[in-house]
Amino acid sequence: MFRFLTVLVLASLLVACTNQGDGDPDDSADSVASRPASASPGASGGTPGTASAACADAFAPLVEMDISSISELGDLPDEVQPTVEACESVADWIAGAGEVIGGEINPGAADFLLRVHCDDLSLARAPICEELG
């Protein structure tokens, strides 16, 4: 329980910190330069912003939950685990999560959430976890 609360607080802080400034978190050159190439749209081989079929299927149960932010996904570890297993890449997962949330996903927050899930040894061979190293 403590780990879950810690993850939630850290994800919230990460989101809050990246939205400081003039309101456009993508304005800084550092945020673009520091993103891994895999976090760019379309890195999974599909069209930009579109999740693969397997990834979309894994996110399907979450669509009905009225989730509005990535921090809410942090509250649902049992529901997020199948998405980590099914999505082909970080970019694919971000596209799937964006479809559930109905908006753009902060790549840094997604990276953090995915790394927390990849600490689970049962996900060590998942493509996303291998990509994150």
Residue 6, pLDDT > 70, answer no
Do the beta carbons of residue 89 and residue 43 sit within 8 Å? yes
Place of tokens 């397997």: 54
Query: Which is it for the CA torsion 31, 8, 4, 99, positive or negative?
Result: negative
pLDDT tens-digit series, residues 71-101: 898 899 999 999 999 999 999 999 999 999 9
The pLDDT value recorded for residue 32 is: 36
Do the beta carbons of residue 15 and residue 70 sit within 8 Å? yes
> What pTM does this model have?
0.64
Residue 13, pLDDT > 80, answer no
Do the beta carbons of residue 86 and residue 57 sit within 8 Å? yes
Secondary structure class of 116 (helix, strand, coil): helix
For the chain, the residue count is 133
